[in-house]
Homo-oligomer: A and B are copies of this chain.
Amino acid sequence: MARIAARLPQAPDVAVGPGDDAAVVEAPDGRVVATIDVLVEGRHFRRDWSSGYDVGRRAAAASLADVVAMGGRPIALLVGFAAPADLEAEWADALADGLRDEAAVVGASVVGGDVTAADAIAVSVTALGDLNGRDPITRGGARAGDRVVVIGRLGFAAAGLALLESGRLDHPLADAHRRPAVDYAGAQRLAAGSDVTAMIDVSDGLLSDLGHIATASGVAIQLDSRDLAIDGRVAEAAAELGSDPLLWVATGGDDHAFAATVRGDVPVDATCVGTVVALDVGGGPTVRFTDRETPDRGGHAHFS
């Protein structure tokens, strides 16, 4: 841990960093936002597809995006790292660098961790954040009439995974699986407005995660598939592989886009993809396309 700690600069809001029984970080709001995510080798990543640095970036992003989806400003990461005893030290160093660099995107520090031996690599990342005096944005606030918006890109990580699975390791889009490009700043601008009623980090796939909002809020959500932006590169990769790019966009996880519901005007840098409606009497799927068949949520494709 000492070797790793030496790679980790600490921001001024860290009172006690790595190397003691616990870290101490500022929580000026008087509340702390806290979340944990686990990435496991062979399920979330493969060492022949992703570097230690890639895994660090991605593991940090998964937890940082959760804090941002609550309306929080990430401050600190804690990392549990289980790895085979014969893992090269360079891999662990690169992991720490990746965690540090992804945290730095939002001004957060890696403040502590625990390293232990195991047969396969598992990386647990806890992210802590501050609410700056605002209410947390939960999944439960969506109401009929709200618009559904997306911040950030969708379908890229699913395309990247499909490309890796087909042996296209050097395809530029394969990097989208290795390291998500998360639009933290866009989500933070959205959260700073007063019109957001619910928000979620899209980690399981858009349909699945909007389903979580619908369930928590007791509403239904109608989407128009033609409003879901399909990036040209994603469409091209789908054509190459004979896949449906809309499926990647609607059910692929791991891009860590943000889906939210807003009252009133749609912010300029968000994409409106649907509308919140009252729950049907008697049920039916709570998230559905109005213009085509709704695919099975499936979502969150792992490769094992």
Contact = CB atoms under 8 A, between A and B. Distances in A.
Contact of A23 (B28, B33, B76, B199): B33
A233 interface: no
- The main secondary structure of chain A at its interface with chain B is strand
A27 B24 contact: no
Number of copies: 2
- A29, A117, A120, A122: residue with the most chain B Cβ atoms closer than 10 Å: A122
Interface string A57-89: 000000001110110100010111110000000
Contacts of A107: none
Interface residues on A, range: 35 or more
Interface in A225-247: none
Interface in A12-28: 15-16, 19-28
A16 B67 CA distance: 13
A254 interface: no
Nearest to A79: B36
B37 A80 contact: yes
Interface of A: 15-16, 19-40, 42-44, 65-67, 69-70, 72, 76, 78-82, 111-114, 116-120, 122, 124, 126-129, 131, 136, 138-140, 199-201, 216, 304
